[in-house]
Amino acid sequence: MPFDIALNFNQRFNSMPTRLSTTLTRSDLAELNAFLITEKMRSFTKAAIELGITTSALSHTIRNLETRLGVRLLNRTSRTVSPTEAGASLALRLETGFKEIGDALEEINRMRDQPVGRLRLNVLSDGARLIMARHLPRFISKYPEVEIEISVDDRMVDIVQEGFDAGIRFGGTVPEDLVAVRLGRELKWVAVASPRYLYQHTLPAVPEDLRLHDCIQLRTGQGVIYKWEFRKGEDYRVVDVRGQLCVSETALAIELALSGAGIAYCLEDRVRDHIRDGSLRIVLPEWAPVEEPMYLYYPGHRRVPQGLKELIEVLREEIKNENRVADK
Question: Which range among 39-43, 167-171, 233-237 shows the weakest confidence by mean pLDDT?
Answer: 39-43
| C-alpha–C-alpha distance, residues 137 and 38, integer Å | 34
pLDDT: which is higher, 223 or 135? 135
pTM of the complete model beyond 0.95: no
pLDDT per position as a tens digit, 220-252: 888 899 999 999 999 999 999 999 999 999 999
Question: How much of the chain is in helix, strand and coil states, percent to nearest 5?
Answer: 45, 20, 35
| C-alpha–C-alpha distance, residues 146 and 142, integer Å | 9
Average pLDDT on 134-141 reads 95
Residue 8: pLDDT above 60? no
Average pLDDT on 13-27 reads 55
| C-alpha–C-alpha distance, residues 18 and 311, integer Å | 47
| pLDDT at residue 21, rounded to an integer | 54
Residue 257: pLDDT above 80? yes
| pLDDT at residue 109, rounded to an integer | 63
Residue 260: pLDDT above 50? yes
Average pLDDT on 268-273 reads 96
User: Where do the DSSP E strands lie in the chain?
Assistant: 74-76, 81-83, 117-123, 146-152, 166-170, 178-183, 187-193, 217-218, 228-232, 235-239, 246-247, 264-267, 281-283, 290-291, 294-299
pLDDT: which is higher, 58 or 77? 58
Length of the chain counted residue by residue = 328
| C-alpha–C-alpha distance, residues 3 and 34, integer Å | 9
Nearest Cα to 227, choosing from 244, 208, 212?
208
| pLDDT at residue 20, rounded to an integer | 53
